Amino acid sequence: MITVSLCMIVKNEERILQRCLDSLAGLMDEIIIVDTGSTDATKQIAAKYTNQVYDFVWVNDFSAARNFAFSKARMEYIYSADADEVLDEKNRAAFWQLKQTLLPEIEIVQMYYANQLSHGTIYNYDRELRPKLFKRNRTFQWQGAIHEQIGITPVIYDSEIEICHLPQNSHKDRDLAAFARLVAAGEPLDKRLHNIYAKELFISGEEKDFLAAREFFQASCLDSLRGDDELKEAACVAARAARIAGDTEDFFKYAMKVIASDGCAEICCELGEFYRQKKDYDEAVVWYYNAAYETESILQIRSGSDIPLQGLADCYRALGNEEQAAEYEKLAQEAAQRQDR
């Protein structure tokens, strides 16, 4: 049977840390908790489970903190967890079975990260495979100051273990501030982080966040090293930021870039909202309909479901067609309920 070190980085997690550690009790052969500056009882709670509680001075880099935690591990494998994760009894049993049967050539085990859509995360799906268990004798290194990932090409096994993600609040302010710092410092964002930044803006960003990101994504639209997908998502952000800023010329400049590349639900919603605000409800209906039924979302799944359906309801109500408005409102509510499940 393999041995496992639990490695965590935490800060001010007194409300949920015990829940997480209780769900992992008996599965871990070693627990390592790295605290990055808690001012609550986090460290005292951690100390009830392990004598390996370390302080790490926060340097705005999640990878640096995780690498420090990994450096303290001594078991064969390392399990990386966050305080807002929970393993239920079924998946605890599956984890225990995995410990007894894992083949020695496996270097990373992926597990399902679940319950994403219920908590306002940056993801458009409720369940996804993530690397969670790592063989210690490989030189795994975390990369990226935010939304960090392991930088290596190992032998991977996709397990059926499902981790329930139960965050107490959204991390969007923290994450968007981190992206703003990276951009201000001139740090390049690779394709993955570029996509996550755009997604986080569309899923949870406020108007001020779009305005703060406007210059960066405008520059991305001119970057010859960016691929077609990156250029499309950059133009979506730039168009939304221009609409918020009231810059009609820029809005259509970037919106038409997306339409020319075959469109997407996000930009159709933007055009629908533009015309709705102008009280040109007939034209708004055209674009909301395209968002709901003729295009696919690329950043925010709701841009192709309840958002344009509610837009259609609002427009038909403004046009005096209450029957159509009620029908689309019902469809919007049903779509929103599906997203929340």
CATH code: domain of residue 226: 1.25.40.10
Same domain, 154 and 81: yes
* Mean pLDDT confidence for 71-83: 97
Helix boundaries (H) for the chain:
17-24, 42-47, 62-71, 89-101, 172-184, 191-204, 207-221, 228-245, 248-260, 265-277, 281-289, 306-318, 322-340
**pLDDT at residue 340, as a whole number:** 58
CATH code of residue 105 = 3.90.550.10
Number of Cβ atoms within 10 Å of the Cβ of 334: 12
Mean model confidence pLDDT for the chain: 93
Same domain, 117 and 228: no
* Last-in-domain residue among 119, 144, 165: 165
* Mean pLDDT confidence for 37-58: 98
| Tokens standing for residue 301 | 């799944």
**pLDDT at residue 283, as a whole number:** 98
Same domain, 130 and 270: no
Give the separation between CA 142 and CA 336, rounded to whole angstroms: 36
**pLDDT at residue 151, as a whole number:** 73
Angle 228-245/265-277 helices, nearest 10 degrees?
A: 10
Same domain, 322 and 257: yes
Same domain, 159 and 216: no
Same domain, 42 and 136: yes
Q: How confident is the model at residue 85 (pLDDT cuts 50, 70, 90)?
A: very high
Give the separation between CA 297 and CA 43, rounded to whole angstroms: 42
- Is 140 or 16 the better-scoring residue by pLDDT? 16
pLDDT at residue 129 above 70?
A: yes
| DSSP code for 131 | E
Q: Which of 27-36, 83-92, 119-128, 172-181 has the lowest mean pLDDT?
A: 119-128
Rounded to the nearest 10°, the torsion over CA 9, 13, 17, 19 is -140
* Mean pLDDT confidence for 73-84: 97
% of the chain residues with pLDDT over 70: 94
* Last-in-domain residue among 145, 165, 185: 165
Domain total in the chain: 2
Which residues are CB-neighbours of 223 under 8 A, at least 6 positions away? 230, 231
Same domain, 154 and 236: no
Same domain, 335 and 248: yes
Number of Cβ atoms within 10 Å of the Cβ of 88: 12
**pLDDT at residue 167, as a whole number:** 82
Same domain, 209 and 157: no
In this prediction the pTM is 0.73
Same domain, 227 and 106: no
Q: How far is CA 291 from CA 35, 119, 249, 263, in A?
A: 45, 24, 22, 9
Question: What domain range is 56 assigned to?
Answer: 4-165
The predicted-structure confidence for 156-206, as pLDDT tens digits, reads as follows 999 999 999 888 766 778 889 999 999 999 999 999 999 999 999 999 999
Same domain, 86 and 182: no
Q: How confident is the model at residue 127 (pLDDT cuts 50, 70, 90)?
A: confident
pLDDT at residue 213 above 60?
A: yes
**pLDDT at residue 216, as a whole number:** 97
The predicted-structure confidence for 7-35, as pLDDT tens digits, reads as follows 999 999 999 999 999 999 999 999 999 99
Q: How confident is the model at residue 144 (pLDDT cuts 50, 70, 90)?
A: confident
Same domain, 159 and 31: yes
* Last-in-domain residue among 128, 147, 165: 165
Could you give phi then psi for residue 299, rounded to 5 degrees?
Answer: -125, -40
